[in-house]
Amino acid sequence: MDYRHEWKYEINQADLLTLRQRLRAVMSPDPHAVDGKYRIRSLYFDNMADQALREKMDGVSRREKFRIRYYNGDTSLIHLEKKSKTGGLGKKQKAILTENQAQSIAQGSLNWMPECQEELVRELYAKMRTQGLRPKEIVDYTREPFLFAPGNVRVTLDHHIRAGFCCSDFLNPKCVTVPVLDAPIILEVKWDQFLPDLIRDAIRLPGRRASAFSKYAQCRIYG
């Protein structure tokens, strides 16, 4: 996959209500959403020095992070993802994990990984062995996604961010998570070669500027 343009904005509840109405009028719903929303759970990786966290906080232009993710509590489809960033551009690589594989990684049972057919799994294994990457934080949130075919535009509204700390409980629907205090609502806009004026107008909010918000970094305030 080629790099895509990415913008993020920190918005409030009033902005959310305004944008939700605008986007419903000009964009299509994501077919995977349930009643226009889906719940996302991610397990983020970092090393003992918190390299991924520090690079994000320091604004390092070229950086990467690994996470495991599934949707709506459905563990029949789990993805290992590598997110690479270069300035305002982002790229995501994916590999499918079985439930047993995801649980093994969360628990630190790695012996099967070098023989896995998925190249991304082998890359994660190498970095867990050489760079000390380990499961670090569970991040839950609700996403409202919208699609627009010209420009391959995807706009999402993310809210109700929660943090979890027992990484081995990643697949447990009863895993304890806590609301992240003062976490904003996040507007994310992603597109390929061009962003249509119709979408630019729909997302425009007075006084809002693109930011580098990270849900992972926000959840790490608890440890």
- pLDDT, one tens digit per residue, over 98-111 is 999 999 999 999 99
pLDDT of residue 1: 57
pLDDT tens-digit readout, 5-23: 999 999 999 999 999 999 9
Question: Cα separation of 194 and 17, whole Å?
Answer: 26
Mean pLDDT of the chain: 95
Span 170-190, mean pLDDT?
A: 94
Mean pLDDT, to the nearest integer, of 86-109? Answer: 95
* 214 contacts 41 by C-beta, under 8 angstroms: no
Give the residue extent of every domain in the chain. 4-222
The CA distances from residue 90 to 61, 62, 115, 195, in Å, are 11, 10, 29, 15
Residue 38 CA to residue 198 CA, distance in Å, equals 25
- The radius of gyration of the chain's CA atoms, rounded to the nearest angstrom, is 17
What is the CATH number assigned to the segment(s) 4-222? 3.20.100.30
- Please tell me the distance from the alpha carbon of residue 171 to that of residue 166, in angstroms, as a whole number: 11
Place 2 in a pLDDT band, splitting at 50, 70 and 90: confident
| Of residues 3, 1, 2, 22, the one with CA closest to residue 157 | 22
CA count, 13 A, side-chain hemisphere, 77: 5
Higher pLDDT, 32 or 202: 202
DSSP code of residue 86:
E
Q: Helix (H, G, I), strand (E, B), or coil: what is residue 39?
A: strand
88 pLDDT band (50/70/90 cuts)? confident
Reported as a pLDDT band with limits 50, 70 and 90, residue 221 is: confident
C-beta of residue 18 within 8 angstroms of C-beta of residue 219: no
Please report, to the nearest 10 degrees, the dihedral formed by the alpha carbons of residues 161, 96, 75, 56 taken in order. Answer: -10
| Residue % of the chain over a pLDDT of 90 | 87
* pLDDT tens-digit series, residues 110-155: 999 999 999 999 999 999 999 999 999 999 999 999 999 999 999 9
Average pLDDT over residues 161-172: 94
* Top mean-pLDDT range of 29-38, 51-60, 146-155: 146-155
What tens digit of pLDDT does each residue of 57-71 get? 888 889 999 999 999
